[in-house]
Amino acid sequence: MEFAAVIHRPDSEMAYFKNDVFQIRLKTKRDDLKKVALIYGDPYSLISENLDPFYQHPQPMDKILQDQYYDYWELEVRLATKRLAYAFVLVDSDDEAYYYNDQGFWPVDHDASLNNANSYFRLPYGHEIDAIHVPSWVAGTVWYQIFPERFANGDPTNDPAGTKSWNPQDHPSRTAYYGGDLQGIIDHLDDLENLGVTGLYFNPLFLAPSNHKYDTIDFFQIDPHFGTNQLFGELVQAAHQRGMRVMLDAVFNHLGINSPQWQDVIRHGQESVYADWFHIHQFPVTYKSTSNPEYSPAISYETFANNPQMTKLNTANPEVQAYLLSIATYWVKEYDIDAWRLDVANEIDHHFWQAFHQRMLDLKPDFYILGEIWHRAQAWLNGDQFSGVMNYPYAGLIIDGIIKRQLSLNQLSAGLSRQLMLYRDQTNMLMFNTLDSHDTARLMTMAAGNYRLVELAIAFLILQPGMPSLYYGTEIGMAGNNDPDCRKPMNWQPDAKGRNLAQQIKKLIAFRHRYGALLTAGKIKFVVVDPDRIQVVRFNDHQQIIGDFDLGSNSYQLQVK
């Protein structure tokens, strides 16, 4: 037995409370153990003379997933008292057995610690308020991401100077404008409803000088080139009438250099009332121009990604905290938005996000909070900060395994299993799964123009735990390399291949909705049939869905049993 490979952490994604049960997991070296059992009970029962000691009744654990190096074991247990003491019984291939508890490993014939409650792993009490909350509307949502400047031009009278004609075949520059606006989105809500979309995620809408709006000037004002605050309210109302939720993009890591706060710092230097709102190393604030003036390391203040146009906020400052929380509160209270997507969320301190989380749930108990984090995110997903994150590592495995074939199917299965085991089940239900976005190359380009492969990849995606999201135009096969090429104007007149792809994706979304209860909360396993064929199995006690994906022929079947 490889003792060093046996891993468990209480009060984490490996031991947590959900839906009135305790979920217990154990991680062991792949194929090292023949079986694992759990001994568990109320710790106070050990001092009762009227009860059999719970350690006399081990319960077998299920091996639920494997990655390249580990097996993952799991068992759900229920206790009326909601106080849990537990330990593991490990049996290796030679039938040697050991106890594993909070004090380490012990031969099973060494029972001195079995009657000592303090030797066990403990979850002191299962408070429902501490469990990860899954708002009833969120897990079943199919999201659609809109880059507002490129979706539809519904009102040419608000176009910026120099707006180009709407051409989906263009290769946009970083500074190009095409006139997309809120009215254009409203005009096409029926199209999105027909597709099956139930959630709209908008890239930033607030006043800013760029086409992408991540360099905010005023968070309380819709950019006039998009429309007005009143028109945004009408958009939210129209979306809600169609059963769609609305998520805005909060750029709380930084402000644009044209913001009044930063302009005050430029004018007044260290005497500015906003001097402490930012991370400034020396006054006056300066940066050295280069051949690419948008990016320069020679700056005297901290920024987003060395971009001097985006000045990093000091979220440890109580005034900054109050300002940002007032923004978040305003759009919830005044316009009834349902969710925030938090830009560059990993570069903002945890204390602020905890305050943000509490404020949003006080306003709206079923609010959804999505963090933009591209890496392992456990520290933000313990129920006190974010509901979920943009699940780029998970999507990246699908792209590398299904689209690019840079991973074997065994590696894909192992990688997806490893990612799922990083988080609680409830958290996996709330992850935002997208195969392309405004920050990546488009799916069709990654698939080298293969429409069948794109459809297969989206079918694979809709079977995964978490919420599927489409980037605008993915449903009709729009192509584009990395930013800014992935931000082309929406093609509202797709060819026959694009229209057919949209019809197939519409069917897949309908399938997701039809079997939403199973596809959001059911268990999952991956079965590699051969080097070109993998099955995704979603199941519960009553039903199972088998997705059979053949990458040799780029075909798939979805079967419900």
Q: How many CB atoms lie within 10 A of CB 115?
A: 11
Beta-sheet strand order (sheet of 303-304): 254-256, 307-312, 303-304
Under 8 Å between Cβ of 462 and 476: no
Mean pLDDT of the 142-171 span: 98
Give percent of the chain with pLDDT exceeding 70. 97
Q: If you search the block for the tokens 């945004």, which residue do you land on?
A: 232
Rounded to 5 degrees, what angle do the CA atoms 466, 467, 472 make? 145
- The CA distance from 175 to 162, in Å, is 10
Q: Which of 134, 212, 203 has its CA nearest to residue 369? A: 134
Q: Residue 436: what pLDDT?
A: 97
Two tokens, residue 287: 């940066």
How many residues would you count in the chain? 561
- The CA distance from 236 to 256, in Å, is 26
271, with CB counted inside 10 A (0-12, 13-18, 19+), is: exposed
Two tokens, residue 405: 């074939």
- Active-site residues: which are they? 343, 372
- The CA distance from 522 to 72, in Å, is 17
Q: What is the pLDDT of residues 22-77, one digit of tens each?
A: 999 999 999 999 999 999 999 888 877 666 788 888 999 999 999 999 999 999 99
- The CA distance from 174 to 516, in Å, is 39
Mean pLDDT of the 256-283 span: 95
- The CA distance from 520 to 417, in Å, is 16
Residue ranges matching CATH 2.60.40.10 in the chain: 3-130
Residue ranges matching CATH 3.90.400.10 in the chain: 256-303
Helix, coil or strand: residue 194: helix
Mean pLDDT of the 414-432 span: 97
Q: How many CB atoms lie within 10 A of CB 57?
A: 12
Under 8 Å between Cβ of 536 and 524: yes
> 209-222: string of b/e by CB count within 10 Å (b at 16+)?
ebbbbbbbbbbeeb
Q: What is the pLDDT of residues 201-240, one digit of tens each?
A: 999 999 999 999 999 999 999 999 999 999 999 999 999 9
Q: Residue 288: what pLDDT?
A: 62
367, with CB counted inside 10 A (0-12, 13-18, 19+), is: buried
**Residues in contact with 318: Cβ distance below 8 Å, sequence separation at least 6, in sequence order:** none
Asked whether the predicted pLDDT for residue 474 surpasses 90, the reply is yes
Q: What is the pLDDT of residues 437-465, one digit of tens each?
A: 999 999 999 999 999 999 999 999 999 99
Under 8 Å between Cβ of 471 and 436: yes
* Strands 218-222, 62-66: pairing kind: unpaired
- The CA distance from 78 to 84, in Å, is 9
159 — pLDDT class (breaks 50, 70, 90): very high
pTM: 0.95
Two tokens, residue 349: 């301190």
Give percent of the chain with pLDDT exceeding 90. 87
Q: Residue 294: what pLDDT?
A: 53
Class of the 3-130 domain?
Answer: mainly beta
DSSP per-residue codes, 359-395: HHHHH-TT-EEEE--SS--GGG-SSSS-SEEB-HHHH
Asked whether the predicted pLDDT for residue 557 surpasses 80, the reply is yes
Q: Which of 216, 147, 158 has its CA nearest to residue 183? A: 158
DSSP 8-state class, residue 168? T
Q: Residue 128: what pLDDT?
A: 74
Two tokens, residue 509: 């979304």
DSSP 8-state class, residue 402? I
Q: Which H or E run includes 551?
A: none
Q: Residue 290: what pLDDT?
A: 47
Q: What mean pLDDT value characterizes the chain?
A: 94
Under 8 Å between Cβ of 247 and 200: yes
Q: Residue 44: what pLDDT?
A: 86
DSSP per-residue codes, 429-477: HT-EEES--TTS--HHHHTTT-HHHHHHHHHHHHTSSSEEEEETTGGGT
Rounded to 5 degrees, what angle do the CA atoms 350, 419, 129 make? 50
CATH code 3.90.400.10 for 256-303: yes
Q: What is the pLDDT of residues 165-181, one digit of tens each?
A: 999 999 999 999 999 99
Question: Considering all CA atoms of the chain, what is the largest pairwise distance in Å, rounded to the nearest integer?
Answer: 85
Under 8 Å between Cβ of 28 and 5: yes
Q: What is the pLDDT of residues 476-509, one digit of tens each?
A: 999 999 999 999 999 999 999 999 999 999 999 9
Q: Residue 280: what pLDDT?
A: 93
- The CA distance from 374 to 380, in Å, is 12
For residues 112 and 503, the model is more confident at 503
Q: What is the pLDDT of residues 282-337, one digit of tens each?
A: 899 887 654 455 545 568 899 998 888 899 999 999 999 999 999 999 999 999 99
| HEC profile of 199-260 | EEEECCCEECCCCCCCCCCEEEEECCCCCCHHHHHHHHHHHHHCCCEEEEEECCCEEECCCH
Q: Residue 468: what pLDDT?
A: 98
